[in-house]
Amino acid sequence: MSRIKTAALIGALILAGGCTWVTPVDGVEAIALVKPQVVQNCEKLSTAVLQVKDKVGFINRSGAKVSKELLTMARNQAVQAGADTIVAETAADDGSQKYGLYRCR
């Protein structure tokens, strides 16, 4: 492969690594992210185990972008489940994270 093609491929991978692929659904702005102690009197509806790409090719994606996408996915799941509150039950690790979905209001 020529140097120009190789450089173009690497550039495309770097740009793709910065992209956000998770689109919020209508209603996510109403979903609260809270600490576990806040949901003691809430109804737990389900648990969402979510996964996004943390690498594109051999390029690591930004941890902040991966976390933001996981949070958006959790809020999307909450909307679909009829929840109004989410709690991160685990830390983001290798593009995966677990959230509890609750109805508190």
Q: Is the pLDDT of residue 1 over 60?
A: no
Give the residue-averaged pLDDT of 20-26: 85
Q: Is the pLDDT of residue 46 over 60?
A: yes
Residue 79 φ/ψ, nearest 5 degrees: -60, -45
Confidence of residue 15 (pLDDT cuts 50, 70, 90): very low
HSE-CB for 105 with a 13 A CA cutoff: 8
- The DSSP bridge partners found for residue 32 are 85
Confidence of residue 5 (pLDDT cuts 50, 70, 90): low
Of how many residues is the chain composed? Answer: 105
Confidence of residue 99 (pLDDT cuts 50, 70, 90): very high
